[in-house]
Amino acid sequence: MELNDRFMRLIDEIKRDEYERGWNDAVKSLVAAARKGITPPDHRPDAVPTPPTQEDGTSVINMVQSVIQDKPGLRGAQIVRSVVAKVPGSDRKAMDRTCRTALSRLKKRGRIEQRKKRWYLKKEAKIEAPAVGSLAL
């Protein structure tokens, strides 16, 4: 038993020494890299993601609104399919999230409404113009 305990302690000591040696090597290489100086990669404007648009520059939110205007009463999935068809080469999964975000934003802005899981343009409240010759105080 005693021999086994000493053997296990020796193994633990070897492991600690090896771990410490590896840690010290890692820290030395990090310090050496920091001394050389780390430069950030060149900024490339073409690498910045842009929202998907049609060839004419129409944004997804405008495409969603135009789909609802052209075909009121579509469900969300049908709107997504229509928008994906308008943007050639688009990723359906990414466009699904983008279109659903556009639906949410249009709803919050009061431009569209959902009735029985179908989307419609919201009827605009009529704004009455003041009568000619009347002054608002």
Query: What CATH number does the domain containing 101 carry?
Result: 1.10.10.10
Partners of residue 125 on adjacent β-strands:
none
pLDDT tens, N- to C-terminus, the chain (137 residues): 687 888 888 889 999 989 999 989 988 888 888 877 766 666 665 555 555 555 566 788 999 999 999 999 999 999 999 998 888 777 888 888 999 999 999 999 999 999 999 999 988 633 344 444 444 44
For residues 97 and 55, the answer to whether their CB atoms sit within 8 Å is no
Whether residue 14 is found in the same domain as residue 66: no
Residues 115 and 66 in one domain: yes
Does the residue 97 lie in any domain?
yes
pLDDT of residue 114: 92
pTM greater than the 0.85 cutoff: no
| Structural domain contains residue 51 | no
- 67, HSE (Cβ side, Cα atoms, 13 Å): 27
- Give domain status of residue 81, yes or no: yes
Q: Please give the pLDDT value at position 42.
A: 65
What is the extent of the structural domain holding 23?
Answer: 1-37
67 and 16, same structural domain? Answer: no
76 CB neighbour count, 10 Å cutoff: 16
Q: Apex CA 112: angle with CA 109 and CA 116, to 5°?
A: 130
- Do 72 and 116 have their domain in common? yes
> Residue 127: inside a domain, yes or no?
no
Task: Indicate the number of domains in the chain.
Answer: 2
Q: How many CB atoms lie within 10 A of CB 70?
A: 9
Residue 68 has a pLDDT of 94
